[in-house]
Structure 1
Amino acid sequence: MCGICGKLNFNRQNPVGQGLIRQMMDVIQHRGPDGSGEFLSGPVGLGHRRLSIIDLDTGAQPMSNEDGTVWVVYNGEIYNFHELRTELEGRGHHFKSTTDTEVIVHLYEELGDQCVTRLRGMFAFALWDERQQRLLLARDRVGVKPLYYTNTGKSLLFGSEIKSLLVDPDIDRRVNPYAIDRFLTYYYLPGNETLFEGIFKLDPGHYLTVQDGRVSVEQYWDLHFDIPSSPPSFDEAVDGLRALLSRTVKDHMISDVPVGVLLSGGVDSTGILSYATQHADRPMHTFTMGFSGANFQDERPYAKLASQKFGTIHHEISMSANDFREFLPKYVWHMEEPVCEPPAIALYFVSQLARQSSVKVLLSGEGGDEAFGGYQTYRNLLTLEKLKSAFGPAKGGLRLGFQALGHAGFKRVGNYANLVEPTLAEYYLSRTATPYTPFNQLKPELYNSEFSALLGIQPQVMPTHKLFEQMNGQPRLNSMLYVDTKTWLPDDLLVKADKMTMAASVELRVPLLDYRVLEFAASLPLHYKVRGRELKRILKAALVETVPQQILNRKKTGFPVPYDDWMRKDMKDFVFDTILATNAGLDSYFCKEALTNLLQTHQKGKGYSKEVFSLLVLALWHQQFAGLSPSV
């Protein structure tokens, strides 16, 4: 796990300076505290920060082929690099290290840009072809590893983090106002835009090439829901999934340093632990987080149960409201974009605990819900769509029924009244949002007239609408899984997972998001995943013999950080002062009176925790990134 950065000037007579590349590397030192390296050749400069995981002695980067005509900087892990190396050696390639990095160089010599199709793992890399004077950037299929870039017209800059790009004095920090609105619509930022105009994410499953000043982006992978006409029986599919998970977790444990497991107390992380202990050659370390204070839901008893079941060396840490508040500015600095993910802060602290315990690699259960249908949202909306079909022209009565239940105190059920008329593609933005979530209802009063007028000039096409169009004709469950795999996963969960673990200089691996697992899940009949009230049916069936029943059958809770209570009590003054501060930058978008009213309403416990946290991180983002000093 590492950090990469670099610059390519389109004018070949304009060399890239060593000073700039070193500054770009220095700002992401946390991603690779074990070493650094650079490659400079006329118009191109590549930089690398190293976190040593595989081949601790000879795996330094940048790395080249035998004659120094192909150079690469790379962040990630290639889990099939042993078989690729054997194949490449059979074709006459000579290796000078035992690292997975060198496989990319020689595979490129054989296949060119299509080398990415043979790589199984998480990766973001930049490869310079000296002979062709050509740059190749690539990102893994699901987007586990981030990669940002900007085209100034004179050069292309790239990096694992936006901060590297901002080091260049030619980069303007212009805020993208449409991205502000999109963040407040989704509570994260889906798609390839960032909050900076002209700075983009390379989409998952894509590669970018630059030659003679021409920049081109191509897609090399997508998730297809192709269910065979004669699918395996449920029991056969369960056996197949068990074998696949065993192989995948084994591959994800490849490392020359200790590997641990991040336990949330849920099914997915416990399932990963069950397979990891089968393949471990030393005692496994496990890590979990709890929270200081009374009346907070605590995952630690379930994590401890899993630890005892599998005989791990278990570590726990507790986070207080003060810990949470003090880390918030650093959370925003490392995330680089406002994302409504309070659990990310807990992830940092538990990753720091792992690092202090000499564990540099953590396995996580991220992705099981998106692959196998684990969110209650899926079940509830599928039920809603069935009711809408059953009521047909009488859907107005269904809406009135939902409204009546809402007035009777069933607030969550009452919320479905707004979803009766629109189609799933019109109302499902992601598992975090619909057009009727609070921010989308509050915008008319929150936005000031100038910002509202600006947004009206260029109506936005939501990225999720485009994805639904691509899934036209597919069952509703598959459509929701596809939308979340393409947006929620890379742009919220995975960017949080990468940025927070790397802030602690720890590598996080996600076996359930191996593309073979995703493709296997996508090929299954729908009822293998969701049936009635059963969620993740096949995954739970595959784990029933190993995961304790108390964990397998418990209600899904996520990672319940008590931030709502903290923001209304311990952090009240900090929240008000930060959001309403003159240097928060929010007066460019919002009416101050409306912001104050929202904060006061939240203080009364009226359920605006996500909205207040989103405004809080947006204010902190402006203080740190929008033209001010980018440091904490």
Structure 2
Amino acid sequence: MCGIAGIVNYRSLEDKRVLLGKMAGMMRHRGPDAAGMFLKGPVGLVHTRLSIIDLSSAGNQPIHNEDKSIWIVFNGEIFNFPEIRKDLEARGHRFYTQTDTEVLIHLYEEKGAHFLQVLNGQFALAIWDENKKELLLARDRVGIRPLFYQFDNGRMTFASEIKALFADTAIHREINAQSLADVFTCWAPLGELTPFKNIYQLLPGHYARINSQGMFIQSYWSPDFSHEDKSDRPLNDWVEELRGLLLDASRIRLRADVPVGAYLSGGIDSTYISSLVKQNFNNRLSTFSVRFTDKRFDESDYQTIAVRSLKTDHHDVCCSEEDIGTLFPKVVWHTETPIIRTAPTPLFMLSKLVRERNFKVVLTGEGADEIFAGYNIFKEDKIRRFWARQPDSEKRPKLLEKLYPYIFSGANSRSRQFLQGFFKKDLLAIDSPVYSHLLRWSNTSQLQSFFSNDLQSQAFSTNAFADRYCANLPNDFMSWSPLSRAQYTEMRIFLSNYLLSSQGDRMAMANSIEGRFPFLDHRLIEFACRLPQRFRIHGLNEKFLLKQAARGVIPDELIERAKQPYRAPISRCFFGNRKLDYVDEMMSEDQIRAKGYFEPSKVSRLIAKCGKGKGQLLSERENMALVGILSTQLLDHQFISSFPLQSDHLIDDIAVHS
């Protein structure tokens, strides 16, 4: 993994060298091993390198073709590059490095933008074509690697992180109110939006061409559930195909010139991946996990079962409420977005542990819940649709008690009636394209009640949010099964814009760690899109096919365990037994009023409630509001009012090519 950035200006000449050095400096954590720059005419490209393949200096970027007419800066990995290289060499192409990056240059020469269809990888890249005087930007299919840009009047700046864009003092820094409302609805800005005005992300599965005529964006891949298999193909056939695909996806993700470890949470997904690697490729696998001092969130008992079964060289880090409170400002700096959960913080600690153990690469189990329907939201959708057929039934809503025993357990009749009323909201809106998510969005959007009067006057309703999302759905979306629609929505919003960002790339790269995701191999995703519904959720048994494939590979205890969503403590981290000066400052009435995002009196009442019970009195929604408010205040402080523009972020020893 690396950091990339660049400037292309067709309207006027500018000296780009110093600014590119500052942009690289803002991302040095993404690539501490080397830095390089290309300058020619309207374009400037810069790269910070985390060396993983071809560790020699020959692999430093930017990289060029034989006649130096095409240059690339690349962040990511192409896992099928040896096979592509062999074919290109047979066609007469000559290489001067052993990197996957150089393969992209020659593949682009052969296929133009269509080369993206050939790649199996996770990436963000920029290619300058001197002959066309054109810049090509592209991002991997599901958005594992980030790419942000600002385009104005023929001048574009782009980078792996927004802070690198803000190294350019000409770019205005302001939080986008619409994006803030999105975060307080679905956890992340929707679509191409970012938390900042006029700063956008290139969407997953898209590329952009930038030339003197403007910027042209095109999709090259999207999850497609239109070919669900309706045949009577036996379950065992599906199991064997899945096992083969996952084994190969794991195999090619071990390609590196440095050791590769694995995260091990104690769940099915990460344990299965670790088992495949340990049993087939690496008898000395090192695994890493996070424990919690708060037993409500701790999964160490299951991690112990997994480690004993796998016999890996295991390392873990213990996360306390104090750790989360202390590290939270640093986490916000790296996420570059408001967050309504503290869950990224333990993952920051985990990647730091990996780095301290001298690893640069880890395999993880992310993506399995999205492609094999592992979340409760999918089962909840199924139950609510069943209930909607007989909305007055007293028996059908009882299925929700099976789904959420920890919510209904111990509830008296009045509380039970309230909970059923909550889940009955919009029960009959089954024709909505986003029926599966309406209840969640509506519930989370109530956090906007803490917004200032000015923000609330802009009326960011759940319906308006849903309309914005639905405006870009595939044409045949409503012909898909309800489960497929729900999975697509989860992949397009939560997976790419939150999970792979705030909890993925950002927390790993903060400590110069590259995460690799076998479940997000596009071959596996396309396989899962074809999978019959009954093999995704069987009754209310989630990830049914994956569990069948895992039997005999991992302990049954981990397959049969009740699903435990990954979460972390919230309010007690900030209002426990220890005073945190930054919390007092950011959440003070003066600061709340000065920044203008939230209503001071409501925030004060929330903080007072925290103080009375040291954070124990808050509801789940209030906890989310608390961390959302605090992270927004920190984001404004770090990126708007006190953004670091000092010269110490300049990398002044960059190798320059022209």
- Does the C-alpha gap of structure 1 residues 221 and 401 become closer, same or farther in structure 2, counting only changes over 3 Å? closer
- Does the C-alpha gap of structure 1 residues 93 and 23 become closer, same or farther in structure 2, counting only changes over 3 Å? same
Q: What is the CA distance between 1:280 and its match in structure 2?
A: 2.8
| Matched residue, 1:41 | 40
Q: Does 1:559 align with 2:571?
A: no
**Secondary structure of 2:4's aligned partner:** strand
CA-to-aligned-CA distance 1:181-211 (integer Å, 9 cap, x gap)? 1111112223110121111010000000111
Q: d(CA) in 2 for partners of 1:630 and 1:340? A: 25
Q: What is the CA distance between 1:601 and its match in structure 2?
A: 4.5
**Selected match of 1:622 from 600, 614, 636:** 636
Q: What is the CA distance between 1:273 and its match in structure 2?
A: 0.4
Q: Does 1:481 align with 2:471?
A: no
Describe how 1:333-352 pairs up with structure 2 within 5 A.
Answer: 333-352=333-352
Q: Does 1:62 align with 2:70?
A: no
CA contact (8 A) 1:70 1:127 kept: yes
| Matched residue, 1:490 | 496
CA contact (8 A) 1:265 1:303 kept: yes
Q: Which moved more, 1:335-344 or 1:504-513?
A: 335-344
Q: d(CA) in 1 for partners of 2:399 and 2:122? A: 47
CA contact (8 A) 1:529 1:538 kept: yes
Describe how 1:116-515 pairs up with structure 2 within 5 A.
Answer: 116-225=116-225, 226-230=227-231, 232-281=233-282, 283-292=284-293, 295-391=295-391, 407-409=414-416, 412-423=419-430, 425=432, 428=435, 430=437, 433-437=440-444, 440-443=445-448, 445-455=449-459, 462-466=467-471, 470=475, 471-496=477-502, 497-515=504-522
**Selected match of 1:578 from 581, 586, 611:** 586
- Does the C-alpha gap of structure 1 residues 463 and 395 become closer, same or farther in structure 2, counting only changes over 3 Å? farther
CA contact (8 A) 2:142 2:520 kept: yes
- Does the C-alpha gap of structure 1 residues 379 and 429 become closer, same or farther in structure 2, counting only changes over 3 Å? closer
- Does the C-alpha gap of structure 1 residues 109 and 246 become closer, same or farther in structure 2, counting only changes over 3 Å? same
Q: Which moved more, 1:528-537 or 1:169-178?
A: 169-178
**Secondary structure of 1:418's aligned partner:** coil
| Matched residue, 1:598 | 606
Code of the aligned partner of 2:554 = V
Q: Does 1:531 align with 2:538?
A: yes
Q: d(CA) in 2 for partners of 1:183 and 1:343? A: 15
Q: TM-score, normalised by structure 2?
A: 0.89
- Does the C-alpha gap of structure 1 residues 298 and 523 become closer, same or farther in structure 2, counting only changes over 3 Å? same
Q: Which moved more, 1:304-313 or 1:413-422?
A: 413-422
**Secondary structure of 1:390's aligned partner:** coil
| Matched residue, 1:111 | 111
Q: Does 1:77 align with 2:77?
A: yes
CA contact (8 A) 1:406 1:414 kept: no
- Does the C-alpha gap of structure 1 residues 326 and 241 become closer, same or farther in structure 2, counting only changes over 3 Å? same
Code of the aligned partner of 1:578 = M
Gaps of 5+ in 2: 401-407, 647-658
CA contact (8 A) 2:341 2:568 kept: no
Q: d(CA) in 2 for partners of 1:82 and 1:454? A: 53
**Secondary structure of 2:441's aligned partner:** coil
Q: What is the CA distance between 1:142 and its match in structure 2?
A: 0.4
CA contact (8 A) 2:433 2:485 kept: no
**Secondary structure of 1:108's aligned partner:** helix
Identity %: 33
Q: d(CA) in 2 for partners of 1:231 and 1:139? A: 37
Q: TM-score, normalised by structure 1?
A: 0.93
Code of the aligned partner of 1:239 = E
Q: What is the CA distance between 1:325 and its match in structure 2?
A: 1.3
Q: d(CA) in 1 for partners of 2:389 and 2:200? A: 40
Gaps of 5+ in 1: none
**Secondary structure of 1:137's aligned partner:** strand
Higher relative contact order (CA 8 A, sep 6+): 2
Code of the aligned partner of 1:480 = A
| Matched residue, 2:623 | 609
RMSD of equivalent CA atoms: 2.7
Q: d(CA) in 2 for partners of 1:141 and 1:228? A: 23
CA-to-aligned-CA distance 1:10-62 (integer Å, 9 cap, x gap)? 12x51442111111101100000011000000210000000000010121110
- Does the C-alpha gap of structure 1 residues 397 and 259 become closer, same or farther in structure 2, counting only changes over 3 Å? closer
Q: d(CA) in 1 for partners of 2:74 and 2:151? A: 20
| Matched residue, 1:589 | 597
Q: d(CA) in 2 for partners of 1:44 and 1:165? A: 15
- Does the C-alpha gap of structure 1 residues 10 and 542 become closer, same or farther in structure 2, counting only changes over 3 Å? same
- Does the C-alpha gap of structure 1 residues 267 and 421 become closer, same or farther in structure 2, counting only changes over 3 Å? same
| Matched residue, 1:541 | 548
**Secondary structure of 2:425's aligned partner:** helix
Aligned residues: 625
